[in-house]
Amino acid sequence: MSGRAILFGILFSTIAATGLGVLRGQLFKSRQLSRIEALPALLAGSDRATSESIAAQKHIIVARLDAHGTTIFRTATAPLADGWLGLEDLSAYDARLPPWPAREEVRGALAGTRSLGHYTLPDKFGSVLVQTLAEPVPGGGVLYIMTGLAQSKLRQPQFYLLVSLSVGTFIYGLANLLARLSRRGPKVERL
């Protein structure tokens, strides 16, 4: 096998691994987003007790805001989706963001438009994606739904790129070494 073929294989596998990493991340994000987009119909007209029950089942935070963005009620905190031990809960990451009335999606919903919010926050293990849905409710106010997704450094596309390049470089070096050894032929001693 020629050096060019090996380099082409390394390049192809690197691009493929990075692409798969990006695709995997997008799949998780879109699945999480579609999950919260379906919830307003389930939560329509619900009170705090009903919202608490649904929020606990779905690992989300649900809040009801009045026509000025002031919190009427908010459910308890929730764990992060795809999380692991050592991570804070969703409320801790929410606290790092601007107050709810200052968020673009809440302002949009107060103006009558269903709006989504996406926030990526750094974490010691990678990052956390907080996704929100602000749905206008009849009579004024907002139904605010929030969910979080832990994104490990080991699941980032950059990690796939690094691993693929490292393995590819090792394979290329090993193939070159084997090619040089095979060109030398067996060592024959003369008497």
- pLDDT tens, 34-70? 777 777 766 766 677 888 888 888 888 999 999 999 9
pLDDT of 172 reads 74
- Amino acid (1-letter code) at residue 17: A
* Those residues with Cβ within 8 angstroms of residue 93's Cβ, 6 or more apart along the chain or in another chain: 80, 121, 128, 130, 148
Domains and CATH numbers, the chain: 3-157 (3.30.450)
8 Å CB contact between 123 and 150: yes
* pLDDT tens profile 62-101: 999 999 999 999 998 887 766 554 567 888 899 999 999 9
Burial bucket for residue 65 (CB in 10 Å: 0-12, 13-18, 19+): buried
Q: pTM to 2 decimals?
A: 0.68
Total residue length of the chain:
191
Distance CA 7, CA 56 (A): 51
8 Å CB contact between 150 and 80: yes
* pLDDT tens profile 124-165: 777 888 999 999 988 889 999 998 888 765 556 666 667 777
pLDDT of 181 reads 75
Pair of tokens at residue 124: 């010691």
Q: SS3 for 131?
A: strand
With pLDDT > 90 as the criterion, what percentage of the chain qualifies?
25
pLDDT of 71 reads 92
Distance CA 176, CA 6 (A): 10
